Amino acid sequence: MKTQTGEKPYSCEVCGYSCSVKSSLVKHMRTHTGEKPHSCEVCGYSFSVKSKLLEHIRTHTGEKPYSCEVCRYSCSVKSSLVDHMRTHTGEKPHSCEVCGYSCSVKSSLVRHMRTHTGEKPHSCKVCGYSFSDKSSLVKHMRSHTGEKPYSCEVCGYSFSVKSKLLEHIRTHTGEKPYSCEVCRYSCSVKSSLVDHMRTHTGEKPHSCEVCGYSCSVKSSLVRHMRTHTGEKPHSCKVCGYSFSDKSSLVKHRTTHTGEKPHSCEVCGYSFSVKSRLVIHMRTHTGEKPYSCEVCGYSCSVKSNLVKHMRTHFRNWKK
């Protein structure tokens, strides 16, 4: 009868909360006392409300009693089904009062609000770095533990982040979903398209603080900085020779293995370095891109032009 009349005779002495049923007040008081009398017999995790324990137990049993009538999605918690149904209806009842952003799940709004407040409640116990959402902290912790839970079923390569695995899989499938609107270039990773677009715009946002050198790709700046620091982090396991960039190490390894992966489609001649193949191809095409500004002599290899220029220099000395 109390629920029908609207009467709420049970009140919290701490915050003033009131309810019509005594059991509801008992549950509410636990938000103040921190009491969690309902414990999981499997893992020991405890809850203040029995219904939450029942939901938790399903994480152990794998039971998913709530199913979507539209697709095959099923879940262990009714509220998760409610959130899921909005992916079909497009409903977004949770709105940001600051910028108008709306979403289907309340937890997404909570995370979004932190972009305005700057709040980062999830901190790394190892290095102190903090994050606005828990999932980012979980990913970050793998940089300390070395954990890589996402593995490629084709080659066994593993990653700490699922998105990196999805990018990697495209190296096997050949899928390149990101295309340049200016030219025919396409790639498997969105960041590669961003870098590529700068070849059209001429943008070079990454600058060296030592000499002012600028480039379009951050990795190029990292390699450039080693010309100042002398750092050579890539070492050959066979002879110990070290290099400032990984591509130079890859080329060097072929001197030990004898591998020549770059082959000429015309005559079958093969090379250990791609640049050698490019030069070789000019013997078939007749291309001579290097020209002398003094006499018009042209050649297919830059080093030959350097040698040629010395013939003019000697003549000038005479």
CATH number at residue 126: 3.30.160.60
pLDDT confidence tier of residue 5, bands split at 50, 70 and 90: low
Give domain status of residue 35, yes or no: yes
Give domain status of residue 245, yes or no: no
Domain C-terminal end among 61, 89, 111: 61
131 & 83 share domain: yes
What's the confidence (pLDDT) of residue 8? 86
114 & 143 share domain: yes
Mean predicted confidence (pLDDT) in 228-243: 93
Helix or strand run (H / E) with residue 150: strand 150-151
Give domain status of residue 110, yes or no: yes
Mean predicted confidence (pLDDT) in 95-113: 94
39 & 54 share domain: yes
141 & 85 share domain: yes
Give domain status of residue 187, yes or no: no
pLDDT confidence tier of residue 314, bands split at 50, 70 and 90: confident
- Which residues have CB under 8 Å from 201's CB, separation 6+? none
What's the confidence (pLDDT) of residue 316? 63
- Which residues have CB under 8 Å from 161's CB, separation 6+? 139, 142, 150
Give domain status of residue 305, yes or no: no
Mean predicted confidence (pLDDT) in 188-198: 94
What's the confidence (pLDDT) of residue 179? 95
The three state secondary structure string of 189-255 is CHHHHHHHHHHHHCCCCEECCCCCCEECCHHHHHHHHHHHHCCCCEECCCCCCEECCHHHHHHHHHH
User: Whole-angstrom Cα distance, residue 191 to residue 217?
Assistant: 10
What's the confidence (pLDDT) of residue 87? 93
Distance of CA 15 to the CA centre of its chain: 45
The domain of 109 spans 66-147
pTM: 0.52
83 & 118 share domain: yes
Mean predicted confidence (pLDDT) in 292-310: 92
Give domain status of residue 299, yes or no: no
Point out the least confidently predicted range of 3-12, 32-41, 209-218, 234-243: 3-12
134 & 94 share domain: yes
Mean predicted confidence (pLDDT) in 254-277: 91
What burial letters (b/e) apply to 40-63, b meaning 16+ CB within 10 Å? eeeeeeebbeeeebebbbeeeeee
71 & 143 share domain: yes
Mean predicted confidence (pLDDT) in 86-92: 94
User: Whole-angstrom Cα distance, residue 303 to residue 268?
Assistant: 24
Q: How many domains does the chain have?
A: 2
Report residue 294 as tokens. Answer: 């003094």
Give domain status of residue 183, yes or no: no
Which carries the bigger pLDDT value, residue 141 or residue 313? 141
Domain C-terminal end among 96, 120, 147: 147
User: Whole-angstrom Cα distance, residue 296 to residue 311?
Assistant: 13
Flag whether pLDDT at 96 surpasses 90.
Answer: yes
40 & 75 share domain: no
pLDDT confidence tier of residue 318, bands split at 50, 70 and 90: low
Flag whether pLDDT at 1 surpasses 60.
Answer: no
57 & 126 share domain: no
34 & 85 share domain: no
What's the confidence (pLDDT) of residue 4? 62
pLDDT confidence tier of residue 317, bands split at 50, 70 and 90: low
Give domain status of residue 195, yes or no: no
Domain C-terminal end among 30, 61, 92: 61
